[in-house]
Structure 1
Amino acid sequence: MPLHTYSAFKTNLLQQTASLRTLIRNNEHTGATSGLAQSLVQGNVVILPADWAADFLMYCQRNPVACPLIAISQPGDPALPELGLDIDIRTDVPEYQVFRGGQREETAYDIRDLWQDDFVTFVLGCSFSFEDALIRAGLSIRNIEAGCNVSMYRSSIATVPAGRFSGDMVVSMRPFSGADAIRAVQVTTRLPKAHGAPVHLGNPAQIGIRDLARPDFGDAITIRDDEVPLFWACGVTPQIALEHARPPIAITHVPGKMLLTERLNEELAVL
């Protein structure tokens, strides 16, 4: 793409994202973000007190497929300048959930009243970013077609413990025909910061999932007879780790309701 065309393309995307972020900041968009801000990186969010940050950073480093780290804030700073010039993590997620002692106690659309001077924000890559790449490769994404959230499941795939953090992986699922499944693997392999290639294909029982019609997070979708389910590591995995670690307080996004950034997916791709 010529430089001037690329520049105009990115400027248009950033304008769209700024408009979307304004809607989110004003609580006018509180739903899922799958299919929004196409071509731009979306992020999972984990906010922790500073004395828990080192353990969580190690957990991300040991589990880069489930927890692909793309940004860390300074303690107490709600800005993330490497992801967007005007991002305020206290207002710019469609819906937050608050953990206390490992329990999901409440949700909120704005966390300014909960903000602490020692909070550190972690932003992890999200599979919604590779959905854009799959669409551009000519593949159909069922949850986007249906206008619903992606299906997410607790699996029996163990993550590597680090400090106080441990737990099994959460996976997201998208069905494809055989030929499209091969193409989906090829496309997503190039995007390790968006979880990369699937961690499992086929029989969900092999990774501890009993019923695809009953996801643990998100919405159920139709799987056709000629399709195979593909499972990717999911950025909801840290929320399971929070249940095990039980920090006094932690704040995350509600599954499927992500932070919209100003980074292009292609900037994080492996050539």
Structure 2
Amino acid sequence: MAQASSPSAFRQLVRAGRFTAQTAGQCPGFTQGNLAIMPSAYADEFLRFARRNPKSCPVIGMSEPGDPSVPELGQDIDLRTDIPGYCVFRDGRMVEEVPHLRELWREDLVGFVIGCSLSFEEALLEGGVPVRHIEQGTTVPMYDTDRPNGAAGRFGGNGVVSMRPMSAAQAIRAIQITSRFPATHGAPVHFGDPAEIGIADIDRPDYGERAEIRPGEIPVFWACGVTPQQAIRSAGLPFAITHKPGHMLVTDVRNSHLAVL
């Protein structure tokens, strides 16, 4: 895959179809975002849902109806083209994956950019905490849970989590580090037995790819920005779009600017 020197240059690669992979490790130091796009008629309700689920859905940017730009995250951002993969939902069902939204964009669509846990991985690595899926060049494993989201109108469903295997000492350090980044999911929501949050088989993620859990390691789970996909399913929206799991919007916002301590 082609490499880029800046988030803007990276987005140009994506826009040109020259980068189509997952985005973990791309443009270190800059915030990545999940995406949820829907008709403006549902936007206020979804925003209430996000506010009731701040761990899973920390909104860091929002577009105006019909406008694919998000100036607060980057002056040249185009939500129609700048993510390496999109999922299209109709009547609450994911019906296709597409590389861009040029033909699907409508004048009533509103985009929400939601903080992503891939953004705090730079801080984990700097803190001496390894990140397995970056080591393996795979997409972070993500799982549906049995933990219900805080409902808002038609939006509900259960939460989704991402997982990174770590030793106990690394997990403690990871909690300390990621607590500084509430805009990108903050501290873990669970560690240890996956069955306690409704995950039957840790080796079979619902999204992404399996991560090796080595002897002496435990799975550590963070709230995940794929949660809006479950909310869209529960709402049965006639039309909606999200990012393809692991394929994020790379913004011009520095991770350090989102730290709270």
TM bucket (normalised to shorter chain) is over 0.9
1:32-51 alignment, distance < 5 Å: 32-51=22-41
What is the aligned partner in structure 2 of residue 134 from structure 1?
124
The answer to whether residue 161 in structure 2 is matched with residue 171 in structure 1 is yes
CA contact (8 A) 2:165 2:211 kept: no
Q: 1:18 Cα shift?
A: 2.0
Consecutive unaligned residues of structure 2, counting only runs of 5 or more, are none
Q: What SS is found at the alignment partner of 1:112?
A: coil
What is the aligned partner in structure 1 of residue 221 from structure 2?
231
What is the aligned partner in structure 2 of residue 64 from structure 1?
54
Consecutive unaligned residues of structure 1, counting only runs of 5 or more, are 1-13
Identity %: 52
Give the alignment partner of residue 247 of structure 2, picking from 234, 257, 266: 257
**Superimposed CA distance per residue, residues 104-125 of structure 1 (whole angstroms, 9 cap, x where no aligned partner):** 1111111011111010000000
CA contact (8 A) 2:150 2:156 kept: yes
Kindly provide the amino acid, as one letter, of the partner of residue 42 in structure 2. W
| Distance in structure 1 (CA, Å) of the matches to 2:127 and 2:174 | 9
What is the aligned partner in structure 2 of residue 96 from structure 1?
86
**Superimposed CA distance per residue, residues 96-147 of structure 1 (whole angstroms, 9 cap, x where no aligned partner):** 1100001111111110111110100000000000111101111110000000
Q: 1:202 Cα shift?
A: 0.3
What is the aligned partner in structure 2 of residue 180 from structure 1?
170
Q: What SS is found at the alignment partner of 1:47?
A: strand
| Distance in structure 2 (CA, Å) of the matches to 1:48 and 1:18 | 25
CA contact (8 A) 2:5 2:27 kept: no
What is the aligned partner in structure 1 of residue 256 from structure 2?
266
Q: 1:186 Cα shift?
A: 0.2
**Superimposed CA distance per residue, residues 171-218 of structure 1 (whole angstroms, 9 cap, x where no aligned partner):** 000011111110000000000011000000100000000111100000
Q: What SS is found at the alignment partner of 2:134?
A: helix
Q: 1:24 Cα shift?
A: 0.5
Structure with the bigger percentage of helix: 1
Instruction: Supply the RMSD in Å over aligned alpha carbons.
Output: 0.9
| Distance in structure 2 (CA, Å) of the matches to 1:199 and 1:82 | 29
CA contact (8 A) 2:93 2:236 kept: yes
Q: What SS is found at the alignment partner of 1:171?
A: strand
Aligned pair count?
A: 258
| Distance in structure 2 (CA, Å) of the matches to 1:103 and 1:158 | 19
**Superimposed CA distance per residue, residues 233-252 of structure 1 (whole angstroms, 9 cap, x where no aligned partner):** 00000000111101111011
Kindly provide the amino acid, as one letter, of the partner of residue 177 in structure 2. V
Q: 1:19 Cα shift?
A: 2.1
| Distance in structure 2 (CA, Å) of the matches to 1:231 and 1:238 | 17
CA contact (8 A) 2:35 2:111 kept: yes
| Distance in structure 1 (CA, Å) of the matches to 2:47 and 2:9 | 32
Q: 1:20 Cα shift?
A: 1.4
What is the aligned partner in structure 2 of residue 193 from structure 1?
183
Q: 1:23 Cα shift?
A: 1.1
What is the aligned partner in structure 1 of residue 68 from structure 2?
78
| Distance in structure 2 (CA, Å) of the matches to 1:35 and 1:252 | 21
| Distance in structure 2 (CA, Å) of the matches to 1:117 and 1:16 | 30
What is the aligned partner in structure 2 of residue 155 from structure 1?
145
**Superimposed CA distance per residue, residues 135-173 of structure 1 (whole angstroms, 9 cap, x where no aligned partner):** 111111000000000000001111100011001100000
Any runs of at least 4 consecutive aligned residues in structure 1 with deviations exceeding 2 A, and if so which? none
The answer to whether residue 101 in structure 2 is matched with residue 111 in structure 1 is yes
| Distance in structure 2 (CA, Å) of the matches to 1:201 and 1:213 | 15
